[in-house]
Structure 1
Amino acid sequence: MRKLIFAINMTLDGCCSHTKGTPGVEVHEYFTALLGEVDLMVYGRITYELMVPFWPDIAKSNVAPTKFMLDFAKAFDAIPKVVFSRTLERVDDHNSRLAKTDLATEITRLKNEPGKGILAGGVALSAELLELGLVDEFIVVIHPVVAGAGRRLFDTAQLPDQMALKLEETRTLESGHVVLRYSKL
């Protein structure tokens, strides 16, 4: 069975807004390497619209401010994406499709298909996946910043009980970012 991996960037005080962190070379390189572990990504509308068309446009133009951003864009663009949304009528990206079934049914079906891991990102969709017990692995990249305000990780999740996790990896990047990787027990 394929693993569903949830990965997110977060500030020290728990903010998950894409405008609050301090991504750089090492963070992009980490996520580019992570994309090599998966062959499918799942997003909700908000995260999808933050990522697409920005990264696919960079990949298509073959022009980016830095090489590490271009490498990430190419890796991101190459992987199929499934978008869960109650409001989108269609997705225009060549490598994306809109899910028409409910979240639990579709993710369970995808996890049972052959292949590498499935990567999920964002806050709302990931909270729903967590509530459904479908997340197998958690990756949190802590940015060395206190945001002070912004959307918090899982602040709206309705979890029935605590979940025990096993620490699989801790990595401190030279930039001060810390990668924490956990698996569900």
Structure 2
Amino acid sequence: MRKLIYGINISLDGCCDHTRFSGADDIQDYFRKLLEGVDTVIYGRKTYELMVPFWPEIALTQSMDETANAFARVFDNLKCIVVSKTIDSVDNERTTIIRDNLREEIIKLKQQPGTAISTGGVELPVQLIEWGLIDEFHMVVHPLIVGQGRRLFTEMNLPENLGLKLIASETLSSGCVALRYLSHPAQV
């Protein structure tokens, strides 16, 4: 079965609002390397609209620095699934829409051949975590306390604690710490 990987940037105080902090080249490289190991990304409408058409256009124009251009090239080669009841159509031929039966559709997707699947954002991953569908967590913690903004997992409702196993940590040159956890059934 294919792994479903959740990756996100957060501040030390748990803020996941991307407008409250910016990323350095090492962070973009970290997520590029993560995406090199997947063939599909799944986003909710908000995250999808942040990523597409922005990164596919950068992949085409190569108009940013080499780190961003490299990320864009990797992103542009991925299949993309957007979960939305409001988007009627998409212009990208590699993008499909899931409107209904999300849990069943994700389970089917995980059972198909291919490499890992990545997801990001907040609302969609919360649902996937609640259903036990996330296999791996990649959390890049920024050395900032922002004091305001949307917090990660505040809208989650788990019946019991979700135990995770730390399998890797890396201090990036920007001072961010990349943490990689596997999901497992043990209670914390």
Q: Distance in 1 between matches of 2:163 and 2:16?
A: 22
Matched with 1:19 is 19
The answer to whether 1:84 aligns with 2:91 is no
Partner of 2:61: 61
Question: What displacement does 1:178 show?
Answer: 0.3
Alpha-carbon contact 1:22-1:143 (below 8 Å) kept: no
Cα distance, 1:93 vs. partner?
2.0
Map 1:1-185 to 2 at 5 A. Answer: 1-64=1-64, 66-185=65-184
Cα distance in 1, alignment partners of residues 93 and 176 from structure 2: 33
RMSD over equivalenced CA pairs, Å: 0.9
TM-score calculated relative to the size of structure 2: 0.95
Corresponding letter in the other structure for 1:41: V
Q: How far has the Cα of 1:91 moved from its partner?
A: 1.8
Q: Is the 8 A contact 1:168 1:181 kept in 2?
A: yes
Cα distance in structure 2, aligned partners of 1:98 and 1:90: 8
Contact 2:85-2:99 within 8 A present in 1 as well: no
- 8 Å Cα contact 1:22/1:145 also seen in 2: no
Q: Any conservation in 1 of the 2:5–2:117 contact (CA below 8 Å)?
A: yes
**3-state SS in 1 of match to 2:20:** coil
| Structure 1 alignment gaps of length 5 or more | none
- Tell which deviates more after alignment, 163-172 or 93-102: 93-102
Give aligned-pair identity as a percent.
46
Q: Where does the alignment leave 5 or more consecutive residues of structure 2 unmatched?
A: none
| 1:60 to partner: Cα distance | 1.2
Say how many residue pairs are matched: 184
- 1:111 positional shift: 0.4
One-letter amino acid of the structure 1 residue matched with residue 34 of structure 2: L
